[in-house]
Structure 1
Amino acid sequence: MLRTCLILTIFRAVNIIAFYVGKPFYRYRRLQGNPFMPILQVLIAAIRKRNLLCPSNPASMSENFQGRLLSHTSRLRFLDNAAIVEENNIEQKDSQWRSATVTRVEETKLILNVIPIWLTSLVVGVCTANHTVKQAAAMNLKINNSFKIPPASMESVSAFGTIICPNI
């Protein structure tokens, strides 16, 4: 038991050191506005342009984004229509609801590719929460005579404890 705690403590210390050594190399960008708005704009632009033929050359698509650039991928090609520059509507090219950049489209593709992972992780989370509630139902949850912790809230008590004391 003592050996296991010592090994876990050493790994925790190595993780903390690695975190602080690598912290200057992290890219951090402050959030500006609603993070779901660009995704919604790409989806709406792709729906509006669903009847257009997507060019085989992504260089003919809109790209005037000031931030980091993502290269074009072939997955979820239906979203590529959002980046097509319409020649008959050049004056509306600057509208974010009519046209999106290739980078914005690729960011949306990345988010949509993560959704299956979230959904499969949801099953594991539900099973874990169910197990925690069943275990808590068998515990003595009385704090004093007038207060008893509900078994369903034990998962949040565990999360709160982890936030308060992360190094234990």
Structure 2
Amino acid sequence: MFKLGRKEGFGIFIGADGDTYRGSWSSDWKHGYGHKRYVNGGLYVGLWKRNVQDGHGRYIWNNGNEYIGEWKKGVILGHGVLIWANKNNYNGEWENWVPKGDEVFTWADGSCYVGRRNKDLNQMKGAFYPLNGNNNCENLIITMMESSSDGEEFSEDLNLGI
């Protein structure tokens, strides 16, 4: 749809590079809710602001990995979950595409790490919970997050070299 020669409202656009956008437009900008399928096989579904991802969205890579969470000015920023094709997942805070802050990493077997990552990305504080049949990481995560909200920090230092 066009208004005064500009894309406005709902529409579909196929770029010269083959990427396809289907969604809301405002004054020639991708703006509002939309889907963009990239030639490389990636897919973004979510909110846009002035031509970039901004707000809640989901990106699926062609290898099966996916991110669901917050975006700001085209970058992953805020809370989100990265799920690998092998079912491992990271649930936590992001800053410019990098994990930072409170986090939970769960392996496909159900084992999990609950903790916090500071400015030095190799320094983490937290605890690892192997799957042993007696614990449920989901319950541990809820309990740990509730207990950490009272100001206590995790005490075990881990240097994982990530």
Q: Same fold (TM over 0.5)?
A: no
Return the structure number with greater helix share: 1
TM-score, normalisation: structure 1: 0.26
TM-score, normalisation: structure 2: 0.26
Which protein has greater RCO, CA pairs closer than 8 Å, 6+ apart? Answer: 1
Larger radius of gyration: 1
Return the structure number with greater strand share: 2
